[in-house]
Amino acid sequence: MLRGPGFKSYLQYVSFGTEIAVAVGAPILLGYWLDTVFDTSPYLTLSGVLLAVILFILMLIRLIRKLNEE
Q: What are 19-60's pLDDT values in tens digits?
A: 999 999 999 999 999 999 999 999 999 999 999 999 999 999
Q: Which residue has the higher pLDDT, 3 or 57?
A: 57
Q: What local confidence, expressed as pLDDT, does residue 18 receive? A: 95
Secondary structure of 6-18 in HEC code, one letter for each residue? CHHHHHHHHHHHH
Could you tell me the CA-to-CA distances from 15 to 20, 22, 38, 47, 63 in Å, in that order?
9, 11, 34, 26, 12
Q: What local confidence, expressed as pLDDT, does residue 11 receive? A: 87
pLDDT > 70? residue 4: yes
Domain boundaries, the chain: 19-69
Q: What local confidence, expressed as pLDDT, does residue 9 receive? A: 81
Strands in 1-70 per DSSP E: none
Where does residue 9 rank: exposed (0-12), middle (13-18), buried (19+ CB within 10 A)? exposed
pLDDT > 70? residue 2: no
